[in-house]
């Protein structure tokens, strides 16, 4: 990561309040300030952290996103930290679930529109799909972007690794009933692509659905460097890029790929 030996990544796990932007911003701001006090380089928020999936009012909530991004820009500068999380984006009559990355200087480093919509909860009826993978350049190096359901599609994470990402961030609203899959998929994506996974899931209840929490930071060897349970929490961990490079040299999976054999 631009000759960096390490990166301190942080996660803010909280119960996102449906449609309550003011409350969610207050909670996010507290977490950002805490991570800033710990000299973290990055703060990752959950999926749709400003309003949750308040689907009937997505247009209104998307209208608030530009102002929210301005607040995040000021918070990034004030705390010397990269801030990332997904928000509703309105564009050309469509609504996208978009992961924004605000750099330490307050600029927009990149954004990614969720490609894989979760049809079980009818995301496909309310959101348009993104069409491209994204590795964004930040002040700490290239960061790959994914959102929640994307975890179930290994091709996407592999494409980010091949484009140079050593860290992939994943905001999510993953339910408790399938949290075992969340844990397994994060480790699988980290191990098979030999990179760090930084994943922020929401917690709490919404209607009859319980969310799993268990946000975590996973090393290229599949070790959980830091994580939590189903309760609100804010934490960080150091990512050691020297360890990553040594592991890639020891087991050079990415170099020994045989793409011609994978054709369908």
Residue 39 lies in a domain: yes
**Does residue 47 carry a catalytic annotation?**
yes
Residue 155 lies in a domain: yes
- List per-residue pLDDT tens for the chain, 264 residues long: 556 789 999 999 999 999 999 999 999 999 999 999 999 999 999 999 999 999 999 999 999 999 999 999 999 999 999 999 999 999 999 999 999 999 999 999 999 999 999 999 999 999 999 999 999 999 999 999 999 999 999 999 999 999 999 999 999 999 999 999 999 999 999 999 999 999 999 999 999 999 999 999 999 999 999 999 999 999 999 999 999 999 999 999 999 999 999 999
Q: Determine which one of 148, 157, 203, 236 is catalytic.
A: 148
Domain that holds residue 88: 6-262
Residue 11 lies in a domain: yes
Residue 1 lies in a domain: no
Q: Determine which one of 17, 47, 104, 236 is catalytic.
A: 47
CATH for 241: 3.60.110.10
Angle ∠(194,196,198) on CA atoms, nearest 5: 150
Pairing, β 196-201 against β 167-172: parallel
**Does residue 246 carry a catalytic annotation?**
no
Ordered alpha helix ranges (H), the chain: 21-37, 58-79, 123-126, 154-162, 179-193, 241-250
Domain count, the chain: 1
**Does residue 114 carry a catalytic annotation?**
yes
The CA distance from 26 to 62, in Å, is 18
Q: Model-level pTM? A: 0.97
The CA distance from 213 to 221, in Å, is 22
Q: Determine which one of 89, 114, 136, 157 is catalytic.
A: 114
């Amino acid at each position: 990561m631009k000759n960096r030996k390490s990166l301190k990544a942080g996660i803010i796990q909280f119960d996102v309040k449906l449609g309550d932007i003011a409350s969610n911003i207050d909670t996010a701001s507290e977490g950002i300030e805490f991570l800033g006090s710990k000299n973290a380089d990055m703060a990752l928020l959950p999926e749709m952290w400003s309003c949750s999936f308040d689907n009937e009012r997505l247009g209104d909530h998307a209208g608030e996103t530009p102002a929210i991004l301005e607040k995040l820009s000021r918070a990034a500068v004030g705390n010397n930290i990269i801030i990332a999380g997904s928000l509703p984006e309105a564009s050309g009559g469509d609504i996208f679930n978009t992961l924004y990355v605000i750099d330490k200087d307050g600029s927009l480093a990149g954004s990614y529109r969720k490609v894989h919509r979760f049809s079980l909860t009818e995301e496909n009826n309310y959101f348009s799909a993104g069409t491209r993978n994204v590795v964004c350049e930040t002040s700490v190096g290239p960061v790959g972007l994914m959102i929640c359901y994307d975890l179930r599609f290994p091709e996407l994470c592999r494409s980010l690794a091949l484009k140079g990402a050593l860290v992939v961030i994943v905001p999510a609203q993953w339910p408790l009933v399938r949290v075992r899959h969340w844990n397994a998929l994060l480790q699988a994506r980290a191990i098979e692509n030999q990179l760090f996974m930084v994943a922020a899931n929401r917690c709490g209840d919404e209607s009859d659905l319980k969310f799993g929490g268990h946000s975590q930071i996973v090393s290229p060897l599949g070790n959980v460097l830091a994580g939590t349970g189903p309760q609100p929490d804010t934490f960080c961990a150091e990512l050691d890029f020297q360890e990553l490079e040594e592991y890639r040299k020891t087991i050079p999976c990415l170099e020994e790929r045989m793409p011609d054999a994978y054709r369908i």
